[in-house]
Amino acid sequence: MTLLFSHFLQSLRRPDHWVYGSWLDTVTKYRKTRLGALWTLVPTAVYVWGLGGFLAALQPGLDQARFLAHIGVGFVVFRLMSTVLSDATAMFSTYKSYIYDGHLRLTDYVLRTQARAFYYFVLSQPIVAIVVIASPTVQPMGIAGSLLGLVVVMINLFLYAVLLGAAGARFPDMHEFMSSAMMVLFLITPIVWYPESAPAGTPHGTLMRANPFHHLMLAIRGPLLGEAIEPATYVYLGAMTLLGLIGAALVYRSAARRIPIWL
């Protein structure tokens, strides 16, 4: 368990590789385009006002301002989580030249993958801020709770990225599996529909409550938009974090030295 935490603390003390490297990964992607980094706003804007507006128009009587805020926050949080976990399955093979060169502090690659997705999350916030402010259910006092939820999400993303990274290095098919799994998780996560549509005791309600993305998303969106958070969510998040912590520490200790061989 100490190896993971030791490498993690070393990565925090020397963040040049993952902070600067992930930022370069982001800005160089748009360097030759006319709009530059403004392109990072386009997917969120299209999703919120395009798809969100279309779905709202299909449901007469729906509070559109509330619905767009629900979709806006849900989309950027889901994209953050799905990007980190999908990319994690291929992150060690992506940076294998660094690993072969002797850079064996693997937490740098986990944090670089996470930081890159987080930059996109931050850059999309202007669009999210517009729809959240316009929502009649916005809770300014819930911003602190939402930020705390973001911390919980980032901790879990790091832990499970370690697990998926090791699995992806050992089993290359994991990347394709995760890409397919994310399509299913998107449908059973309340992004374009409200959690109230899946009441407890129903098959679809049980499926939603078994979905970790639902609970992670609710930790951020619930306090900000005044959405009800069931007590089971707190239990789920606590158990998920504890299991992720133990699992990541054990897997990292046993797999860290084998990953260069698996690659």
The confidence score (pLDDT) of residue 88 equals: 94
Q: What is the pLDDT of residues 117-134, one digit of tens each?
A: 999 999 999 999 999 999
CA distance 246 to 234: 18
Residue pair 28/20 in contact by the 8 Å Cβ criterion: no
The confidence score (pLDDT) of residue 251 equals: 93
Q: What is the pLDDT of residues 3-13, one digit of tens each?
A: 999 999 998 99
The confidence score (pLDDT) of residue 99 equals: 84
Which residue in this structure is represented by tokens 């989580």? 81
- Is pLDDT above 70 for 220? yes
Which of 24-28, 50-54, 92-96, 183-187 bottoms out in mean pLDDT, i.e. has the lowest? 24-28
Q: Report the pLDDT averaged over residues 224-234.
A: 92
- What are 179-184's contacts with CB under 8 Å, separation 24+? 179/86, 182/82, 182/85, 182/86
C-beta neighbour count of 262 within 10 angstroms: 15
The confidence score (pLDDT) of residue 238 equals: 96
